[in-house]
């Protein structure tokens, strides 16, 4: 655990975008704590994954944090929660 048990309860890694680790936080205090610990978090990540993987850590507010940040959500996997946003050619009106 990189951040300790108390901060881990209210924050989760959400995404990696352009070498910036996006961390979901449940409240402003957790976000401030992530900002204050930024240097030590980056040092631990660099030690674990190498220097070129992550260059910054950015906290973002989240009302709820999933148990696993990598669990797919059915309502967000595709547009409008449908299995596929595109219709198959045979399903398009006016085509045989």
CATH code: domain of residue 40: 3.30.300.180
- Indicate whether 19 belongs to any domain: yes
The pLDDT of residue 77 is 44
pLDDT at position 3: 80
Structural domain contains residue 93: no
As for how many domains the chain has, the answer is 1
> Each residue's pLDDT tens digit in the chain (96 positions)?
678 889 988 999 999 999 899 999 999 999 999 999 999 999 998 888 888 788 999 999 987 776 555 444 554 444 444 455 555 555 556 655
CA distance 9 to 29: 13
Residue 58 domain boundaries:
1-65
Nearest 5°: phi and psi at 13? Answer: -70, 130
Name the pTM for this structure.
0.64
Cα-based distances in Å from 76 to 4, 12, 24, 66, 87: 30, 18, 17, 14, 18
Task: Flag whether 34 is in a domain.
Answer: yes
Is residue 91, in this structure, part of any structural domain at all?
A: no
**Dihedral of alpha carbons 49, 52, 53, 59, sign:** positive
């Amino acid at each position: 655990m990189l951040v300790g048990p108390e901060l881990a309860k209210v924050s989760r890694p959400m995404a990696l975008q352009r070498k910036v680790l996006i961390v979901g936080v449940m409240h402003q205090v957790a976000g401030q704590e992530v900002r204050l610990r930024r240097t030590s978090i980056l040092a631990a990540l660099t030690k674990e994954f190498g220097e070129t993987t992550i260059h910054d850590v950015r906290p973002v507010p989240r009302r709820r944090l999933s148990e696993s940040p990598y669990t797919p959500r059915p309502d967000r996997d595709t547009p409008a929660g449908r299995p596929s946003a595109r219709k198959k050619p045979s399903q398009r009106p006016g085509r045989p």
